[in-house]
Structure 1
Amino acid sequence: MATQPQRIEEHPDLMSLRARYAQASASPVAQAVEGLILLSGLYLAISPWIVGFSGASSITVNNLILGIAVAVLALGFGSVYERTYGMGWVAAAIGVWTIVAPWAVTGNVDTTKTVTSNVIVGAAVMILGIATSALGRMRRT
């Protein structure tokens, strides 16, 4: 007589993996990374008005939408890391797009303020996204 297959939610490997991710998300390093991603996303969303390139509507809309997306990702990392740790690559991809967006979206770059702002915040989001993905792989001793 065959035994009933075990439900995936009760699998010992999955339970230990969730416990490891929960432990990783509770570390001060993870909380700092999550906070920095949130701040980077908020800055990206309001950067056209802070830096002064809100007149360029395409890059303004781009930064606003991507900034909100990064902030929402950061809130997910902070609240349910064990379910969103794999989304760190999305933040990294948004960071790369933020770097190239001044040229890709507008076709020409009006000022160095736009490029400088986007490259700095894009690099920060990319690095923090990669760090978020790596947090679950770190072993605490």
Structure 2
Amino acid sequence: MNEINYLWPLAGGLLIGLSAGLYLLLDGRIAGISGLTAAAMGLTDGGTSKLGLGFLAGIVAGAWFTSLLVRQPHIAITSSPTLLIVAGLIVGYGTRLGSGCTSGHGVCGIARFSRRSLAATAIFMAIAGITVFVARHLLEGLL
């Protein structure tokens, strides 16, 4: 591996940490993608959030800008589209049930030493590992 392979993830992690830290310092809120998405779509008590819309627009613009700088990957969907949709809906339900997603709990919550976020992150990482094991080793060929 060459040095550039380590720079992209480092830059991405620094930008995520910087944006989450600035959001907390300047607005006093946790930068969880599921919460910001819900606010942008008007699914929260405050109606549609301009801040949420701006955050989501920044994510899309950042991905688009990066795609101009980095080679395009070959994307191949190898699972059933129905399975992917069901899995996405389950993940979405889980983020609402758990009051946050990996970005809110994993990035922001752990950085604040939140016991609830530490527990949530440990649980969803363990479940992710179990899910991969079951899907790859026990149900291989069925999905």
Q: Could you tell me the TM-score, scaled by structure 2's length?
A: 0.29
- Structure with greater proportional helix content: 1
Highest Rg: 1 or 2? 1
Q: Could you tell me the TM-score, scaled by structure 1's length?
A: 0.30
